[in-house]
Structure 1
Amino acid sequence: MASQQRAERTRHRLLQAAAAEISRFGYDGSSLQRISKAAGVTMGALTFHFPTKMDLAHAIHADGAALAREAVLRIAAPHAPDGPAPGPEPALPRIVRITLTLGELLATEATVRASARLTRERIAGREDWRDSWLPSVRRLIEQARGGHEFKPGVTSDTVTTLTRHLVSGLEDSALPGTGSAPVEALADVWDLVLTGLADSHPAFVPRT
């Protein structure tokens, strides 16, 4: 049992070190030697847990996507536990809060940044970090449309494209050396966008 716990701790340290490395330098620019040194383990221990660099990348991608998916599903639930009030919350405010939450995760979690970057670099193959949040957003968009939360003429495709572009901008701004993801700026963008998007524009854009 003790050896298993040590192995799990070693694996966790390797994933943390690799996430920081890949989020900063990308897959091609990352170094297994730097990762092993940052994790405080030997190269032998690294290759024991992850025989190849690609195995390590897939594990990081899965962890980052799982972290994002868990956070998004909590918001997307009809009775979101972290919603502003009890009872069903309209869909559009939940879409806004999902993007803000993704921005916070990108700013604070190297695993999420690395997962998003591996998707952009097309390293993860068919695995796509956007699959952790975009399906929930699409369902909420359809709920919002069905609930007449959009102004006449606003299509689901338009809102989906808008949301994808906003999150993509968060990914770029969350790269190390460019500052943290501008979540507050994103809230300001939503305030502007909702004027032309929502059938009514209550003050539901949360502020930090």
Structure 2
Amino acid sequence: MKQERAARTREALVQAAAEAFDRAGFHGTSLGRISKAAGISMGALTFHFPTKDELADTVQLRGLTVTRDAVQRLLTGREAALETVVDLTLELAALLQEEAVVRAAARLTRERESAPQGAPWPSSWLPAVEGLLEAMPAGQLRAGCDPRTVLALVGHLVAGVESYLRSCAAQGCDTCKSAPEQLARIWELALYGIRCGRQG
């Protein structure tokens, strides 16, 4: 019973911290703000997480785990194809839109100098994209289209989704389009330039 209560307290703190780091960033968030948002005393917070860095480490690693697990589920049984790359980015867009812990991991990656080892958020999905592009059968990309350029395109699109969502949140905009739907339309345009057999 005591362990279950401790686990619930810890989970509540991680969720509150994820939302706070997502909104205000690492430097704009205090332990006091997280304590208040979670409805948990400062003493209980520092018992589980003595420093803000330790709490940020936990949030960042949680975001990576959520992302990595989603990517692995999506790739199960899928072929190395351009459509799979597109679907992977749409999954990332959905995660960024729906999961505060994923948005927090992405933001903490940029803002923290002392991140936990192996925890930059792109490390949870970028190797999968690289693997798909390397294993893609010949003939799926237009002649002269470098897979490294497609990889860069993916990076820019994912970063653009995060920026779009942050802009919507900052403006308090409830009418922003679904990030995955918007990204799917962008891909429709981009694929005309990179898929073999399409006319530019």
TM-score normalised to structure 1 length = 0.86
Q: Which blocks of at least 5 consecutive residues in structure 2 are unaligned?
A: none
Aligned residue for 1:91? 81
Report the Cα distance in structure 2 between the residues aligned to 1:148 and 1:142, rounded to whole angstroms: 13
1:163 to 154, 166, 191: 154
Higher alpha-carbon deviation: 176-185 or 16-25:
176-185
Match of 1:27, SS? coil
User: Are positions 1:131 and 2:123 aligned together?
Assistant: yes
Aligned residue for 2:108? 118
Report the Cα distance in structure 1 between the residues aligned to 2:161 and 2:41, rounded to whole angstroms: 35
Higher alpha-carbon deviation: 15-24 or 177-186:
177-186
Deviation at 1:76, TM superposition (A): 2.3
Aligned residue for 1:84? none
**For each residue in 1:9-54, what CA deviation from the matched residue of structure 2 results, as whole angstroms up to 9, or x when unmatched?**
0000000000000000000001211111111110011001111000
User: Are positions 1:105 and 2:65 aligned together?
Assistant: no
Report the Cα distance in structure 1 between the residues aligned to 2:97 and 2:5, rounded to whole angstroms: 29
Deviation at 1:122, TM superposition (A): 3.3
TM-score normalised to structure 2 length = 0.89
Task: Name the aligned partner's letter for residue 63 of structure 2.
Answer: G
Match of 1:30, SS? coil
User: Structure 1 vs Structure 2: percent identity of aligned residues?
Assistant: 46
8 Å CA contact 2:26, 2:112 repeated in 1: no
Q: Which blocks of at least 5 consecutive residues in structure 1 are unaligned?
A: 81-88, 202-208
Match of 2:170, SS? coil
Report the Cα distance in structure 2 between the residues aligned to 1:132 and 1:200, rounded to whole angstroms: 32
Deviation at 1:120, TM superposition (A): 1.6
Deviation at 1:200, TM superposition (A): 4.3
Deviation at 1:125, TM superposition (A): 5.6
Aligned residues: 190
CA separation of 1:33/1:55 partners in 2, compared to 1, >3 Å: closer, same or farther? same
1:196 to 186, 193, 196: 193
**For each residue in 1:80-100, what CA deviation from the matched residue of structure 2 results, as whole angstroms up to 9, or x when unmatched?**
4xxxxxxxx452111101111
Task: Name the aligned partner's letter for residue 156 of structure 1.
Answer: P
